[in-house]
Structure 1
């Protein structure tokens, strides 16, 4: 076999030159992390002993959440001698999914005296899915909502009035917070109505004194139609000390103080008045101590005074607040003492009453509909419980200010 010496020497020299030249991915971290604070990363390529310029091309085999900075074009770099190349990678900051993905970088180059080469480097993208922020309890805000009270015990109308309420919530310290509110309930219906049959005797000769066996009495029959309506307004304050305080949950000891002024108005009228008969004034009638009028009862001479009732509630309880994606909930069962002072209009006499009360206050806001349902149950341990259910639309001044900016 005959070997051509010049060709052999050229081959050996080129091979020796190629052996001394290297382009490779050095040892480096292979794991990338995806979260909102990281938007870029990179992979390093190192070249040594490159005698003549070499073009290196890098492509990403399976782009997705990771892309080359030059995307959609491949990344290229020219090496001569020794050098490093940092290949920028763009990492998606979409953290809605949690997954592990492999991404392969394929590097292609051709050294003098050698056919083209390919080398690969695989990186692992670790995508951390961030849980959404838990709903937060509204703090340091003023809520105003209007609605209609529903009185299930009303004899005439379930819808009894318009209700307006404002609540100011604020923190005094990390453990102590307050709710201060005021409300006004303006009636547009009658709470109760009764018709009471009456029989009244009237002296037919009012200027003459009654004499047994001589005087005549007219017998009047009629009904008194009585209609009662109540309007109220009040202020209250709750002081809370949190036993458990989280962003979306708060459980607290609660102290409740409330003042309510109730104005009771009674309208009465005479219905179906008839002089049925005339009878003599007998000894039997005289012995019955009847109230005998001087003229028939009519709307002109009958009236009913109103009443003002001042009530003071002193109560303690436990308050639970919970914020969810669908609801904002507030629940406050309580037990306490009520001091009630009643005064009839036009009279100086007061009626005082004190008793133990058990009740619960609750409020729920349906976030999707933007509707708040509130219930106030008082005196449920007595025979005269007070039930007030209101539906309204909460208006946050904070959101209004944000919209106006």
Structure 2
């Protein structure tokens, strides 16, 4: 217990470095580091116990810029802060190699470290969890599970580092050795930012968006269109596969590149889909949509994600030819005009074909769903296999003597 106490104290002390951007760390006890979170939580519990309806009424009656009530704004910001806060915390814990330091100097195991980080994250978001629990108990339980899930995505693979199969499993540390933490954070949060912009405009300017969700087929169409906007930017998979220079070496030592790439891509797919989907779930639940409608919308967004990912498989082949050193160099690169035109065609044609045949009213809802699944599966699987065949051939700049 004493070891756990000192470990979590050190973890809170380490936060000073990546939040204050300073080499000076103040010597604080665990109570000094955490009292503000506990005090905020207790204060909110006291307020909601005695004046919950008054607070809701006050927030509902006042508007920001005359277009959105503070109550609606809080409903949007609370899940956003919860998601982005946990992601930001976990990325910097990994980036600063806190686990390695604590394992070497304090003999903290992977499982102990995961427990410490999970408790730290719960303390940090405890005021937000109080707000959610008082609004809806089921959403509060879901929020706690979300904190657990986000923690698991980043750390559960690291718990199994003692097992031989870990060498072939997904590792966030390996991802950060290929793509810098800031680029990973940007690639993960841009779809979330697009999602929140979409939700804000849906609330404030629904006529401008021209959204028609009068039936389930239109819900699917709206989800597909929205998803192609959310995921049109370069994703984590794009950066990971474009910048990775280890494939020829892994191939030379006998690693099955097909399995190696497949495991990492699907882990990154899960992360990329999950975060915007959770935001949309909260939003659609707030608007009063039923479980079936929400599931259909999230299904359509997921299909759009795989369509965009399939298109990016071709872009990976194009960009790997330039052998970029890092993400900053890749983003700053000025693409030749002929390549740029090719990219526009690659991005435009599959998306337009998908959106156009969804306007055909000959198919029922299930026929439309099946058609989308078949079309997008063909696009994704064929382009994924094509990309993989090109990558497995290896880098011509690397030669091995046999």
**TM-score normalized by the length of structure 1:** 0.18
Higher relative contact order (CA 8 A, sep 6+): 2
Q: Which has the higher strand share?
A: 1
Q: Which has the higher helix share?
A: 2
